[in-house]
Homo-oligomer: A and B are copies of this chain.
Amino acid sequence: MQTLLNELKHIVGTAHVLTDGDLSAWTQDWRKRTHGQALAVVRPAHTTEVAQVVQACARYRREHPDSPVSIVPQGGNTGLVVGSTPDESGRQIVLSLQRMHAIRQVDGANLTLTVEAGCILQTVQEQAKAAGFWFPLSLAAEGSCTIGGNLGTNAGGTQVLRFGNTRELCLGLEVVTPQGEVWHGLSGLRKDNTGYDLKNLYIGSEGTLGIITAATLKLFPLPKAQLTAWVAVPSTQAAVTLLGLAQQHLGPSLTGFEMMGQFALSLVAKHFDSLRVPLYQDAPFCVLLESASQDAPTQARTQFENMLEAALEAGHASDAVVAENLAQAKVLWQIRESIPLAQAEEGLNIKHDISVPISSMAAFVQTTDAQLAAAIPGVRLVNFGHLGDGNLHYNVQAPVGIDAAVFLREHEPEVNRIVFDSVAAFGGSISAEHGIGSLKIEHLAHYKSPVALGLMRAIKLALDPQNLLNPARVIALP
């Protein structure tokens, strides 16, 4: 393989083919569940280098069928499903896009921004803002994840309710194919019906069909008024009803609708002394609700408060506070974002990232809660998430007094089966926003329809017949 490594060094420069020292930043997954072994970490500086690296690996693979190399594309390596780190074979190249982080263009009149894949999400947000616009994609890892990773995994986050997933925020892509060709699809067009939708095929394919090297993203006017409320609700059903009411009152101004269970919030209160969690002690669930509009601030506030009053009067909410300023709003979001950290403080747990139709949400929670309680008496549910999108992080924590590691070892398959079977019964998804990677590939094979799996396999085989890009992720070839 030394020949290949030499060729790669020739393409990107010796300094950017890493083979020695501590490579764990690239070879270990974000949650530190797996430790892979890379043949090399290769860091190209521009699209032509990416194409040449892919060509070199494809050629090597053709000429050495007995020791097949493959490529794992990687952005910020913050994914949660072990999709961007190498396996233990030592025959995988990690192709890191981190050096490709330029903002290529901001086009205000077209409301678009063109950026390279390795750019950190927060930088995209900041550059958009500096130009007077809003790029609304927002998620916990935004300080270290890259836009290429967000696109590769079709990331969700907290603004999906109004703006959609990353897919809906992207107008065009530049992609290096498994043959090392470059598709220049960086369209800033809002309408283009000239053939199959290649863009959306690459988005969410987790680096298995091509390597996204740049993207043209949608920008939006900065909002003139932003309002944030924390609302106590008497039940999941009440939260769903409140969502409908907020949509009727606010329309597209409603940008965020997060639901948090009492136990999840109690963990934040327990482990983060400095955070004062409002209203949670007397309510089974709280909702974090946000609006953004071009209305004048006083007018927007009146409309927002009218909505909350209507909800209180109708009994969909038992209490509510509205943030008086941006600082207060930030604290409310900090509480929401601290739930996973508080949960980690409490001990290991079994995480899920599921979605169901919003109309089935209450029934799903009630049914699944009951099934888990029956199977494992005392089990604790850290239930929170993007209710406005029908997406919950329905996490399962050991009963009080039970060692978390033992709980996981003994109960993880059973808990997954109960939760995923229930998701399937309600017509939901076992991975709403995190993707499949290698972590969920066997679950997918079980829960996805054979017709869909067959179609996915045919597409993978057609576009990457060598199985060069991120093999054994998302869909396994025979």
User: CB distance A434 to B193 under 8 Å?
Assistant: yes
User: CB distance B191 to A196 under 8 Å?
Assistant: no
Nearest-neighbour CB distance to chain B for A293, whole angstroms, equals 6
A182: B residues at CB distance < 8 A: 451
Q: Does A303 contact B (CB under 8 A)?
A: yes
Q: Does A143 contact B (CB under 8 A)?
A: no
A360: B residues at CB distance < 8 A: 110
User: CB distance B187 to A429 under 8 Å?
Assistant: yes
Number of A interface residues at 8 Å Cβ cutoff, please give it: 96
Residue from the list B205, B244, B461, B475 in contact with A462, Cβ < 8 A: B461
Tell me the complex Cα distance, A358–B191, Å.
11
Tell me the complex Cα distance, A293–B386, Å.
24
Tell me the complex Cα distance, A171–B160, Å.
14
Q: Does A356 contact B (CB under 8 A)?
A: yes
Within 8 A of B (CB), among A355-386: 355-360, 386
How many copies the complex holds: the figure is: 2
- Residue interface bits A270-310, CB-to-B below 8 A is 1, else 0: 00000000000000000000000111000100010000000
User: CB distance B160 to A190 under 8 Å?
Assistant: yes
Nearest-neighbour CB distance to chain B for A282, whole angstroms, equals 26
A164: B residues at CB distance < 8 A: 168, 190
Residue from the list B196, B355, B456 in contact with A195, Cβ < 8 A: B456
Tell me the complex Cα distance, A182–B449, Å.
10
Q: Which of A111, A240, A294 has the most CB of B within 10 A?
A: A294
Tell me the complex Cα distance, A386–B191, Å.
10
User: CB distance A389 to B191 under 8 Å?
Assistant: yes
Q: Does A165 contact B (CB under 8 A)?
A: yes
A188: B residues at CB distance < 8 A: 357, 359, 427
Tell me the complex Cα distance, A195–B303, Å.
40
Tell me the complex Cα distance, A36–B460, Å.
36
11 sampled A-B residue pairs with Cβ under 8 A: A189-B429, A190-B391, A194-B448, A195-B453, A195-B475, A196-B204, A197-B197, A221-B251, A295-B295, A458-B462, A462-B462
Residues in chain A within 8 A of chain B (CB atoms): 107-112, 153-154, 156, 160, 162, 164-165, 167-168, 177, 181-185, 187-198, 200-201, 203-205, 209, 220-221, 223, 240-241, 244, 247-253, 293-295, 299, 303, 355-360, 386, 389-391, 427-436, 440, 444, 447-449, 451-456, 458-463, 474-475
6 closest cross-chain pairs (CB), A and B: A462-B462, A109-B359, A251-B294, A200-B200, A252-B252, A192-B429
